[in-house]
């Protein structure tokens, strides 16, 4: 991840958690080529805000975000337990954005096996979308990881895991 100089005024507006300041910044980001560096601030606000409208707008922004340069910031958030309460929102945005997360599939496999059913279901979608981009040896590695994790998940998730294994075999 390349460190870019961030605009302090934009950071101030995002950190304000005031809907009338945050939403125009998100709209600006939608038209900017340099929004990826601000994703940690966006994710942090999504985590902290209690304002439902702001939360909705942040979630929609993540779904609309199509810059692959933002992927490392998304993965960082998914590896940070602080953001666990919003992982399902972030992961849902991952598959809805149609960005290629195949190089970071390890993170989604771990979440798929260890987290609650709804979060696992979101991870399932990201994994499934990434399969066409995987080399055969990586596919086999992930399939083995799922097979070994199968006996550690509850009955409901076991059905999901078996389904993913079956998809990977085809």
* pLDDT of 4 higher than 90: no
How many C-beta atoms lie closer than 10 Å to residue 52's C-beta? 9
CA distances from 25 to 9, 12, 19, 68 (A): 10, 10, 10, 20
* pLDDT of 3 higher than 70: no
Question: How far is the C-alpha of 38 from the C-alpha of 43, rounded, in Å?
Answer: 9
Give the mean model confidence (pLDDT) for residues 92-114: 97
User: 3-class DSSP state for residue 153?
Assistant: coil
Among 3, 6, 96, 81, residue whose Cα is nearest residue 42: 6
Percentage of the residues of the chain whose pLDDT score is greater than 70: 98
What pLDDT shows up at residue 60?
Answer: 96
At 139, list the tokens.
């596919």
Give the mean model confidence (pLDDT) for residues 127-153: 96
At 156, list the tokens.
């409901």
Question: How far is the C-alpha of 156 from the C-alpha of 58, rounded, in Å?
Answer: 30
Q: Which residue has the tokens 């209690």?
A: 50
Give CA angle at 80 (52, 155), nearest 5°: 85
What pLDDT shows up at residue 1?
Answer: 52
Q: What is the mean pLDDT of the chain?
A: 93
Instruction: Give the predicted TM-score (pTM) of the model.
Output: 0.91
Summarize pLDDT for 27-82 with one digit per residue, the tens: 989 887 788 999 999 999 999 999 999 999 999 999 999 999 999 999 999 999 99
What pLDDT shows up at residue 32?
Answer: 78
What pLDDT shows up at residue 6?
Answer: 80
What pLDDT shows up at residue 125?
Answer: 98
């Amino acid at each position: 991840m390349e460190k870019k100089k961030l605009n302090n005024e934009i950071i101030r507006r995002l950190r304000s958690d005031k809907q009338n300041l945050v939403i125009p910044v998100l709209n600006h980001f939608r038209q900017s080529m340099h929004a990826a560096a601000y994703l940690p601030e966006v994710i942090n606000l999504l985590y902290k805000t209690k304002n439902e409208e702001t939360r909705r707008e942040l979630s929609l922004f993540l779904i609309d975000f199509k810059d692959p340069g933002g992927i490392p910031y998304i993965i960082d958030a998914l590896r940070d337990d602080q953001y666990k309460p919003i992982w399902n929102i972030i992961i849902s945005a991952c598959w809805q954005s149609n960005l290629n997360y195949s190089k970071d599939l390890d993170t989604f496999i771990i979440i798929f096996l260890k987290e609650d059913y709804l979060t696992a279901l979101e991870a399932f979608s990201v994994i499934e979308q990434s399969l066409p981009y995987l080399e055969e040896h990586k596919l086999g590695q992930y399939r083995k990881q799922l097979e070994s994790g199968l006996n550690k998940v509850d009955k409901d998730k076991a059905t999901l895991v078996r389904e993913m294994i079956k998809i990977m075999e085809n």
